[in-house]
Amino acid sequence: MTPNPKSGRKTIQVVIAEDQGMVLGALAALLEMEGDISVVARALDGREALDAVLANKPDVFITDIEMPKMTGLEVAAELKRLRTGTRVVIVTTFARSGYLRRALEAGASGYLLKDRPAEELADAVRRVHKGLRVIDPELATEAWGELDPLTDRERQVLRLAGDGKASGDIAGELGLSEGTVRNYLSEAISKLGAGNRVEAARIARTKGWL
């Protein structure tokens, strides 16, 4: 609990969230090697992460997107709403423009891919701590690529359809009529230029619209 009594005391405090324990530990190890950064807490899911950030008030919060309980984007949005001073850096596998947009809307200061060399993480933490924005170059360019044409309903319906559920089941799950579900699906299919529900779901997923 006592703050790392290292050089000068002015280390950057960070909290990390990542659902794969091994990766979480490894990233933490990576950051701990840097003299000017201390990992004050780790979390294996979104809810835990949110609590950890609120409890520790770190300078920077590093988080994955796809996690149990709450996604990294949801946590970021919540932190923005609560006006904590903590800066958020998203670290994810997915180069999806939809994710980046949502991340920025949720007030994230950084968005970088797990593809990048490891050194960039510590760099990003420092830059973001200074108040700068760090966006992965690959995304930065085409970032503002076409925006999500789907309505909320279409999204929900498409999500379930993509898992192989039948129209009737989906209807039951969402409290709609089967016909209505088919209508939404039909709309989504045409908006995405797909040939059927499955392809539509696939397309939406790769764009990060889910």
Residue 121: how many other CB atoms lie within 10 Å = 22
Site mask, a copy of itself, residues 179-198, x = CB under 8 A? ---------------xxxxx
Q: How far is the CB of 160 from a copy of itself (least distance, A)?
A: 11
Identify residue 140 by its one-letter amino acid code.
A
Q: How far is the CB of 82 from a copy of itself (least distance, A)?
A: 28
Site mask, a copy of itself, residues 9-28, x = CB under 8 A? ----------xxxxxxxxxx
Question: Considering the rule CB under 7 A, would residue 168 count as an interface residue with DNA?
Answer: yes
Q: How many residues bind DNA (CB under 7 A)?
A: 20
Question: Considering the rule CB under 7 A, would residue 183 count as an interface residue with DNA?
Answer: yes
Question: Considering the rule CB under 7 A, would residue 201 count as an interface residue with DNA?
Answer: no
- Using DSSP, state whether 17 is helix, strand or coil: strand
Q: How far is the CB of 209 from DNA (least distance, A)?
A: 16
Q: How far is the CB of 177 from DNA (least distance, A)?
A: 4
Distance (Å, rounded) from C-alpha 176 to C-alpha 170?
Answer: 8
Question: Considering the rule CB under 7 A, would residue 77 count as an interface residue with DNA?
Answer: no
Contacts of residue 161, Cβ cutoff 8 Å, sequence gap at least 6: 167, 170, 185, 197, 198, 200, 201
Cβ atoms of residues 39 and 97 within 8 Å: no
- Tokens 């909320």 correspond to 152
